[in-house]
Structure 1
Amino acid sequence: MIEGIYQLLDNIFGGYIVQHPLLAITVAGFVIGGSYTLIYYFFTDIEKTRKIQKMAKEIQKEMKEAQKSGDEKKLRKVQQKQMELMKMQSEMMRQQMVPMLLTLPIFWIFFGWLRRWYAEVAIVKAPFNFFIFDWFHKMYHSALGPDELGYFGWYILSSYIIGMVLRKFLDMG
């Protein structure tokens, strides 16, 4: 089954897989980053999330004031509000699990497909040695140099960028 999906992806991307790995991985990152952002947008209540974040900041401010003043009664009230906030946050976490579960198969399919083609291929070469690349490559015994970024690093960057742009465009904060 998975091999059929990989074959479909090979057919869709055609010659770009071998001739233009940067483009193929960028498109894959955009597809996954974009799909995750759109699924998150449609399956979560953005206004409720903002309300909870605002409430958390207010409660944190009230807690600091209550601790400075030493008012036990005020401190208990704030702690009660914190308990209510925690219940709301746990509800939001459950709501955010749906987009994650929907996008996880998409991620694993694309990730497996990319790994099949680009396991030890340098996708991007930086004009300088970047110590984090070197540290990461040594940790995973990679043949890539300290100035090279593989498919996974480029995929993360491209999916992050499209996610940021879409979040800004959709006013998701």
Structure 2
Amino acid sequence: MIEGIYKFLDDLFGGYIVQHPLLAITFAGFVIGGSYTLIYYFFMDVEKMRKIQEVSKQLQKEMREAQKSGDEKKLKKVQQKQLELMRMQGDLMRQQTIPMLLTLPIFWVFFAWLRRWYVEVAIAKAPFNFFLFDWFHSLYHSALGPDELGYFGWYVLSSYVIGMVLRKFLDMG
């Protein structure tokens, strides 16, 4: 079954896989990152998320004021409100499990497929040696240099960009 999925992905990306790995991974990052963002958008209550963020900011402000004034009653009230905030955050985390369970298989299949093509291929080359690239490559005993970015790094960058743009466009905060 998994080979059938890989064959579909090979056919979908056609000659770009071999001839233009940068374009193939960029396109894939946009598609996968965009679909993740859209899945979260449709399964998450964005208004509830905003409300929790606002309550959290307000509680932090109240906590600082209570600590500065040394008012024990006010401090206890804020702590009670924090417990309620923690319950609300727990509900939000339970709501996030459905999109996570939907996106995890996509992630596993997609990265196993990419690894077949680009395991030790430099996708992008930086004009300088970047210490994080070198550190990451040394962790995995990669043959890539400190100025080279592999498929995983390039995917993360491209999907991050499209995710941020879509979040801004969909007003997800």
TM range (shorter): over 0.9
Per the TM alignment, residue 31 of structure 1 is displaced from its structure 2 partner at its CA by 1.3
Asked if 1:162 corresponds to 2:162, the answer is yes
Provide the secondary structure at the position in 1 that maps to 2:84. Answer: helix
Partner of residue 4, structure 2: 4
Partner of residue 132, structure 1: 132
Unaligned 5+ segments in structure 1 are: none
Equivalents in 1 of 2:42, 2:108: separation in Å?
A: 21
Equivalents in 1 of 2:121, 2:131: separation in Å?
A: 19
Q: Which amino acid aligns with 2:171?
A: D
Per the TM alignment, residue 81 of structure 1 is displaced from its structure 2 partner at its CA by 0.5
The normalised TM-score by structure 1 is 0.98
Partner of residue 93, structure 1: 93
Unaligned 5+ segments in structure 2 are: none
Matches within 5 A, 1:20-31: 20-31=20-31
Equivalents in 1 of 2:41, 2:161: separation in Å?
A: 16
Per the TM alignment, residue 110 of structure 1 is displaced from its structure 2 partner at its CA by 0.9
RMSD: 0.7
Equivalents in 2 of 1:34, 1:72: separation in Å?
A: 48
**Per-residue CA shift, 1:50-107, capped at 9, x if unaligned?**
0100000101111111111111111111111011000000000111111111111111
Segments of 4+ in structure 1 off by > 3 A?
A: none
Q: Which amino acid aligns with 2:51?
A: K
